[in-house]
Amino acid sequence: MASISLVAASALGKSSLKENAFMGVSLSNHSTMSEFDSVCARRTKRNRVAGGVRAQATAVMTPSETKFTESSKKTLRKGNVIITGASSGLGLATAKSLAESGKWNVIMACRDFLKTEKAAQSVGMSKENYTIMHLDLASLDSVRQFVETFRRSNLPLDVLVCNAAIYMPNAKTPTFTADGFEMGVGVNHLGHFLLSRLLVEDMVKSDYPSKRLVIVGSITGNTNTLAGNIPPKANLGDLRGLAGGMTGQNGSSMIDGGEFWGAKAYKDSKICNMLTMQEFHRRYHEDTGITFSSLYPGCIATTGLFREHIPLFRTLFPPFQKYITKGYVSETEAGNRLAQVVADPSLTKSGVYWSWNKTAASFENQLSQEASDVDKARKVWDLSEKLVGLA
Ligand SMILES: NC(=O)c1ccc[n+]([C@@H]2O[C@H](COP(=O)([O-])OP(=O)(O)OC[C@H]3O[C@@H](n4cnc5c(N)ncnc54)[C@H](OP(=O)(O)O)[C@@H]3O)[C@@H](O)[C@H]2O)c1
C-alpha cells in the first residue's frame, strides 16, 4: 500500500474554496459480551455526567489521541474490514486499495451481488482478499440480517466503513425506504446508524491493534465552505421532521420539517453522518480505543453518485471540476485516501474529519458549526435510536 503510506498524516493545510466547489451546482474475537456490557455501563455513567466537560468539547476541534498504541497489541492476521457500497466509486476503489495491500480481507457489503462480483473482478481484486455479503441499507431488516450473516462467518470485525450513499438531486417527490423513511436520509444515515450501532459491539470484541469506524462525510454538508453554501444548504433545523420519522404521511419527509428537496436531503444526511461519527467518539472512544473518523475524499466527479443528475450535468461536471475548480480527484486517489483512514498507522486520532490539501497531504479539517454541534449530535443520536428500534 505504498500510495497510502506516502501521505504524511501530520501535514496541515487548508483546502482552497475552489478546490471545494462541488455538488449542488445547478447545472479472532476474544472478549465476551460482558466486556461490551461493562463498556456500555461505563459509557452511560459518563454520559450522565451530562453537559459536563466532555459534552461541552467540540470533538473535531479537540480529538483525543488513542490510548491504545499500535505496538501495544500485535497480530499477524489479516484485518477484516466491512465496506458498504463497495460495488462502485469510492467504495470499490477503497476495497481495491486495501485488498491489493494483502493485509486486508474486504467484506463488500452491497445490495447487488452480481454487480459487486463483476466490479471486484473488473478492478483485478483477487478472490482470497474479498467476500461479498448482501446489505440493502434501505431496509432495517436487511441491516439486521447482514449483521447476523456477518456474525455467522465468525470473522472478527476490525474496521467498518460506512460509505454507501444515494443522491437524488432532481427528485420532485420523495421516495421511501422499506421502513417508510425518506430514502436519502434513510439509506445514508439511518441504515448506517443501525449498522454501526450493532457492529460496534463486534468491534469491541476484536483483538486487532487499531480498530476504526469510518463514516464518509462530505463538504456539501458543511456550510463553512463554498460548496456547502450552494443552495439548497444543509440544515437540520430543530429536527422536527426526524422526530416525526420523515414518512411524509402526517408530516414532512425532511429532517427540518420543510418541503422535500432531494439535494438537501443528501446534504442533511451527510451532516447526520458527521454528527454520528463525533457522537460515537464521545460515547465510545475512551472506553473502547476504537478510532472514529469521517472524511471528505475530494470531488470524485465520475462516480455513480451523480447517476440521477441530468445528462448535461454528468457530461460537464468532471471537466468543470478538473479544469475550472481543480477540485477533481480520481476514484483511485480517493480510494487511497479512504484506505489511509482505514489503515494508515498515523491516522489513529479519533473524532477527526479528514481532508487532503493540494499536495495530497491529509489534515484535520474543521466542520461547520452545525456539523459539530454537540447538542444536535446527541439529539440526532437519540431520535435515530428510536427510529431504528434501538430505544
Ligand atoms: N463522488 C463524490 O464526489 C463524493 C464527494 C464527497 C463524498 N462522497 C461520498 O462518497 C461515498 C461513496 O459515493 P460514490 O461517489 O462512490 O458514489 P457511488 O459510486 O454511487 O457509490 C455509492 C454506493 O452506495 C451503494 N448504495 C446505494 N444505495 C444503497 C442501498 N440501499 N444499500 C446498499 N448500498 C447502497 C451503491 O450500490 P449500487 O451499486 O447497488 O447502486 C454504490 O455501491 C458516499 O458516502 C458519498 O456521499 C462522494
Residue 265 within a domain: yes
Cα 308 off chain centre by: 21
pLDDT at residue 59, as a whole number: 33
The total of structural domains in the chain comes to: 1
- Tell me the per-residue pLDDT of 52-73, one tens digit each, with 9 for 90 and over: 323 323 333 334 444 444 544 5
135 in ligand 1 pocket by Cβ < 6 Å? yes
Q: For ligand 1, atom 25, name the residue with the nearest CA.
A: 85
111 in ligand 1 pocket by Cβ < 6 Å? yes
| Minimum-distance ligand 1 atom for the alpha carbon of 93 | 16
Output the CA 90–ligand 1 centroid distance in Å.
7
- Tell me the per-residue pLDDT of 247-289, one tens digit each, with 9 for 90 and over: 988 789 999 999 999 999 999 999 999 999 999 999 999 999 9
Whether the CB-CB separation of 201 and 40 falls below 8 Å is answered with: no
Residues marked active site are found at: 266
Q: What is the pairing mode between strands 212-216 and 291-295?
A: parallel
Res. 39: pLDDT tops 80: no
95 in ligand 1 pocket by Cβ < 6 Å? no
Output the CA 197–ligand 1 centroid distance in Å.
20
Helices 192-205 and 140-152, interaxial angle, to 10°?
20
Ligand 1 pocket mutation, candidates 15, 111, 277, criterion most atoms within 8 A of CB: 111
Res. 380: pLDDT tops 50: yes
- Provide the residue range defining the domain that includes 121: 79-388
CATH, residue 302:
3.40.50.720
pTM: 0.86
Residue 317 within a domain: yes
Q: Is the dihedral of CA 329, 333, 337, 342 positive or negative?
A: positive
pLDDT at residue 74, as a whole number: 55
Res. 41: pLDDT tops 60: no
Enclosing H/E stretch for 294: strand 291-295
Residue 45 within a domain: no
Res. 24: pLDDT tops 90: no
Res. 36: pLDDT tops 80: no
Query: Of the ranges 25-29, 68-72, 139-143, 251-255, which one carries the lowest mean pLDDT score?
Result: 25-29
166 in ligand 1 pocket by Cβ < 6 Å? yes
What confidence tier does 225 reach under pLDDT thresholds 50, 70, 90? confident
218 in ligand 1 pocket by Cβ < 6 Å? yes
Mean pLDDT of the chain: 85
Residue 39 within a domain: no
Residue 364 within a domain: yes
Q: For ligand 1, atom 43, name the residue with the nearest CA.
A: 85
Residue 128 within a domain: yes
pLDDT at residue 251, as a whole number: 84
Res. 123: pLDDT tops 90: yes
Res. 147: pLDDT tops 70: yes
Burial class from Cβ neighbours inside 10 Å (0-12, 13-18, 19+) for residue 259 reads exposed
Q: Which residue has the higher pLDDT, 31 or 12?
A: 31
Res. 143: pLDDT tops 90: yes
Residue 375 within a domain: yes
pLDDT at residue 326, as a whole number: 85
66 in ligand 1 pocket by Cβ < 6 Å? no
